[in-house]
Amino acid sequence: MSPLPPQVLSPLDGRYRAAVTELGEYLSEAGLNRARVQVEVEWLITLTDRSLFGSTPLEAEQKAALRALVTDFGQAEIDELATLEATTRHDVKAVEYLVRRRLSALGLDHIAELTHFAATSEDINNLSYALTVREAVHQVWLPKFTALIEAIRVLALDYRADSMLARTHGQPATPTTMGKELAVFVYRLERVRAQVASNEFLGKFSGATGTFAAHVVAEPSADWPTISREFVEGLGLTWNPLTTQIESHDWQAELYSRMSHGNRILHNLATDIWTYISMGYFRQIPQAGATGSSTMPHKINPIRFENAEANLELSSAILDSLAATLVTSRLQRDLTDSTTQRNIGVGFGHSLLAIDNIVRGLGEIDLDRTLLASDLDSNWEILGEAIQTVIRAEVTAGRSSIEDPYALLKELTRGKRIGQDDLVAFVSALEIGDDAKSRLLELTPALYVGLADSLIDYLK
């Protein structure tokens, strides 16, 4: 058997590429290297703007030319960095050499030694990861996550008055509405969305052990902490003044934990929708040309929700691992974070793929209101809760002397199917006030939904 030509290992870069391709703009190796170039360029501008070490501020055209190294970063730079790294065996050093080459081409050799000045690789990397992750969150993941929330919200509003039998512990229980049940997920997901949206992105720029030692030796009179803070904040990040060689990654742990929590809520949604489909509450809308089973032509499988489950589990496994491991670095530095951070995009990708599946799946189902009504009408015994609660209120108000109403209804309904006629006869014989009896006689399982409809108004 002849070997295959080189193939991608991750399905995110193969079968599912179309659903996650936007993440590659930020969380790929190329995206990381572009951000590294950005950090190196902005550090050069920061130093020359302050006329440090005999330099003078660059002209506006020179700054624009330097910043164009970032905006014009493309395949030529990707290939050149690969060639440089083949020699340096060091990714950040390759970026430094690339920037130096571009300085020479721009006639800026006189500031070449300010490239990567007093910086450790982690000064460049921590800021680059913060920039790329921030953009991936705000430009890609959050918009997709928000769009999914809105899709669920639309269904919650559409189905707000559609009564259905609840199933606590999988057994018939006090009715609710499909809209209210979906609104629960909207509310839960909105909280996570807000937490992710407000997550800080921290950065440091303070040298090999976070002490500014090389900076101070080179220029003792400069206020290096202030320069560092203004530089980091100028990138739109939050400055971390107290670090080792690395920024401590706590912001990453917080972010990935919150995203993983969102994944798990979506996993709960996917399993609930799958279950409603299996019960017939949701009908699946046939998609033209689609095959449900290779041998059973009649089948429409809920594959969108099953695929979402699996991808949410994979995403959370990676994000949880990142959150757990990135917060530990031996003494002032070890490299355990280097390889793990290169998998950030994988964690994001599986989450994004799951979100895409759920959005598509929600657009391929329709509520079977006839079945919901039939299911309710077959379970009149669930009104036992309402009856015993009303009796207890009547006893308290002095309008009834019935002893132990709960036990009375338990004897009537537990483990039994009771029809409308049975309950009407039972209620008619109760010694309770006329108003209470009238309310119970008018009650049906479909009407026994409390404030389910109006509760949806608590959604923002």
- Picking from 75, 112, 92, the residue whose alpha carbon sits closest to that of residue 39 is 92
Q: By the 8 A CB rule, do 322 and 348 touch?
A: no
Q: Which residue type, as a one-letter code, is found at position 286? A: P
Beta-carbon contacts of residue 138 (< 8 Å; ≥ 6 apart): 197
Q: Take residue 406 and report the two structure tokens written for it.
A: 């709960």
At residue 108, the 3 state secondary structure works out as coil
Beta strand segments in 261-312, E: 282-284
Task: Give yes or no: 293 in active site.
Answer: yes
Q: Report the alpha-carbon distance of residue 387 to residue 397 in Å, rounded.
A: 15
Selected catalytic residue, list 104, 293, 374, 438? 293
Inter-residue contact 59 to 107 (CB < 8 Å)? no
Give the residue among 442, 445, 365 at the shortest CA–CA distance from 174.
445
Out of 2, 169, 198, 221, pick the active-site residue.
Answer: 169
Residue type present at position 167: R
Contact 98, 80 (CB under 8 A): yes
**Measured between alpha carbons, how far is 241 from 244 in angstroms, rounded to an integer?**
10
Task: Assess whether 128 carries a catalytic annotation.
Answer: no
Which amino acid is it at 316? S
DSSP string, 384-430: HHHHHHHHHHHHHTTS---S-HHHHHHHHHTT----HHHHHHHHHT-
Please give the Cα distance from 32 to 115 (Å, whole number): 18
β-sheet bridge partners, residue 172? 167
Active-site positions read 169, 293
